[in-house]
Structure 1
Amino acid sequence: MKNLFRNRWHRWVNRRIPRSDLQFFSHKNIFILPTGAGVVFGLLLVIMLLTGINYQNSLVYLSTFLLGAVFVGAMHQTHRNLSGLEVTLVQPGEGFAGDDIPFRFRLRAGRDDAIAILLSCAESGHAPVHVHSGQVLDVSLLVHSAHRGYLRPDRIRIETRFPFGLLKAWSWIRPVSAGVVFPRPVPAPEAFSTVEGGEASAQLRSVDGNDHADIRPWREGDLSQRVLWKRFARTGQLVVVDWEGEQGSPHWLDFNAYPGADHELRLSYLAFLVNERGKSGARFGLNLPGQVIEPDSGPAHVARCLRVLATWGEERPRDAMSEPHGTRKRSSRTLSRVITEGRV
């Protein structure tokens, strides 16, 4: 029975407040109720009124009506404090799974000042802010994430209890845009990519006896299998072998290089390697089933690779679907089809 009432309430609210990255608050979508202190204050007024009636005391009557007028005035002021406010989602956040993802909102006050406005989502909230009439203020709200994928909060609550805290007026904004949650980086074991210079090659070539090899100093990001450990033991020099035809070729980060790990763990390995390559500034490419990112370097390339890892196998959230901490994983049938098409 409780769930039935809750579902009906949510459907009614969703019809009244459709999804949008911009929400304007008016009497049509603002809700107001007494707080705990307001309920106690109302009961006190009832007791005072009954006392005045019983003893026919004019002073008690006067005090009751004055306090009642204060309560009614506070109700109008609390509602007016939120009315006319415009809230816009400016930038959905990005971050790693398990972190709090920042969502940036822009508040624009109407004819009246918006005082002590509180934004909250689930267990996180923002300190109350004041927006003067006609002015704009940007605030960031942290939204908790648990899984990689798209992150779109179902509702962001906007609330005020100004001036006396006797009543609370609130509403919601239901964003359309979604943030992106990257896989949680997990240190990756040493593994050889099946991609060499953009072409698949499952066979590794031997160093010994290769007359077409070039020796160069070790650079961060080089695989340990290419290090000449015997020379390091003799001379203390850390050098790496490059074969002819591979000089200048990038290091590929390959989904297929970890056949024994599950898909989510592979993505976490790749996220770790992307971060490491980004720190060293090395060129690298990313090979995923059904999607290949050509080799490049720089912060923009790193960000692009992380977004691809975050959204691989995921669908953008639909209006009827909302997950509190990230998009729901695709069904095993759909994911199997994606992997089969990618020839894992």
Structure 2
Amino acid sequence: MRSRIRKRWQRWINHRIPRRDHQILSQRNVFILPTGAGVIFGLLLLIMLITGINYQNSLIYLLTFILGAVFVAAMHQTHRNLAGLELTVLSGGEGFPGDPIPFRIRAKAGGNDALALSLSCEDTRIDQQHVLKGEPADLSLALVPFERGYFRPDRIRVETRFPFGLLKAWSWLRPVSAGIVFPDPIPAPESASTVQDGEQTSQARSIDGNDHADIRPWREGDLSQRVLWKRFARTGEMVIADWEGEQGSPQWLDYEAFRGVDQELRLSYLAYQVLDRMKTNRPFGLNLPGQRIDPDEGRAHGTRCLKALAVFGLEKPREGEPLAFGTRTQDASFGPGIRSAREARS
């Protein structure tokens, strides 16, 4: 019964406050109720009124009506604190599972200053935010996702208890914009890319007595462990050993290199390799089914590859859809995957 009532309430709220990145608060979507202190204050007023009626005491009447007027004035002021407030989602952030992802929100006051605002979503909250009339304020609410993909909070609550804390007025912002959660990086095993870059030239079939390897000239981005240092010491020629079955270019991070592994683990391996290449500033490309990012280097290139891994196999959430893909699977105790992600990024 309780869950049915809650579902009906949520449907009513979603109908009254549609999903959009720009929200103007008004009487239609601002709600107000007494706080715990306000309920006690009202009960005390009622007791004082009954006492004044019982004893026919004019001073008690006067004090009761003055405090009652304060309560009514506080109700109007608390509601006006949110009335006309404009909220705009500027952008959703990027990050890894278990790390805070900031959502930037611009607030612009209506006809009055909006004071002592609180923004919250689940366990995350920021308090005492002041938005003065004519001075837009940029607020940042950091939310924690737990799965890769598009990350979009269902509702961000905007609340105020100004001026006396006797009443609370609140509303919600239901953003369309989504953040990006990268795959949880997990150290990848040794693997050979299946991508050929077409730049291999002279290859010989025998290397220092080994019959199952090819050689090629060294290229930027090749691992130093694969250089034939003995040959380099003898001839001064820097060549690379491509053992039989390792025919792909080391510049490519390849989805198909991890055969027999499920999709999420492959993406985690690739995310780890991207971070490793970004740390050493080595050029690399990314090969995914249906998508290929050409080799490059630098932070912007690495972020582009991480984004491609984050949204691989997912559709971008549309405006009318409910809660986002790949989000809100909450686990109080972070698993080993998230711990390894933090170790990989440290």
TM-score normalised to structure 2 length = 0.83
SS of the residue 1:321 aligns to? coil
Aligned-partner residue type, residue 27 of structure 1: Q
Identity of aligned pairs, percent? 62
User: Structure 2 vs 1, CA of residues 227 and 112 (structure 1 numbering), >3 Å: closer, same or farther?
Assistant: same
Q: What is the root-mean-square deviation of aligned Cα atoms in Å?
A: 2.8
User: Structure 2 vs 1, CA of residues 62 and 211 (structure 1 numbering), >3 Å: closer, same or farther?
Assistant: closer
In the alignment, which residue of structure 1 is the partner of 2:132? 132
Check the 8 A contact 1:250/1:285 in 2, yes or no.
no
Number of residue pairs aligned between Structure 1 and Structure 2? 313
Instruction: State the Cα distance separating 1:260 from its structure 2 match.
Output: 3.5
User: Structure 2 vs 1, CA of residues 78 and 324 (structure 1 numbering), >3 Å: closer, same or farther?
Assistant: farther
Q: Distance in 2 between matches of 1:213 and 1:64?
A: 94
In the alignment, which residue of structure 2 is the partner of 1:174? 174
SS of the residue 2:127 aligns to? coil
Equivalent positions of 1:1-344 (< 5 A) are: 1-197=1-197, 207-208=207-208, 213-214=216-217, 222-223=222-223, 226-228=226-228, 241=240, 251-318=251-318, 319-323=320-324, 326=327
Check the 8 A contact 2:317/2:325 in 1, yes or no.
no
Instruction: State the Cα distance separating 1:242 from its structure 2 match.
Output: 6.5
Instruction: State the Cα distance separating 1:223 from its structure 2 match.
Output: 3.9
What does the per-residue CA deviation read over 1:290-343, in whole Å, with 9 as the maximum and x for residues that have no partner? 222121222221111111100001122242321496289xxxxxxxxxxxxxxx
Instruction: State the Cα distance separating 1:196 from its structure 2 match.
Output: 2.4
Question: Unpaired segments of 5 or more residues in structure 1?
Answer: 200-204, 244-248, 329-344
Q: Distance in 2 between matches of 1:49 and 1:324?
A: 55
What does the per-residue CA deviation read over 1:172-219, in whole Å, with 9 as the maximum and x for residues that have no partner? 1110111110011111122111112179xxxxx774467964468xx8
Q: Distance in 1 between matches of 2:29 and 2:8?
A: 17
Q: Distance in 2 between matches of 1:88 and 1:316?
A: 20
Q: Which moved more, 1:71-80 or 1:250-259?
A: 250-259
Q: Distance in 1 between matches of 2:276 and 2:132?
A: 45
Question: Unpaired segments of 5 or more residues in structure 2?
Answer: 200-204, 243-248, 330-346
User: Structure 2 vs 1, CA of residues 324 and 41 (structure 1 numbering), >3 Å: closer, same or farther?
Assistant: farther
Q: Distance in 1 between matches of 2:326 and 2:129?
A: 26
Check the 8 A contact 1:111/1:133 in 2, yes or no.
yes
Aligned-partner residue type, residue 322 of structure 1: L
TM-score normalised to structure 1 length = 0.83
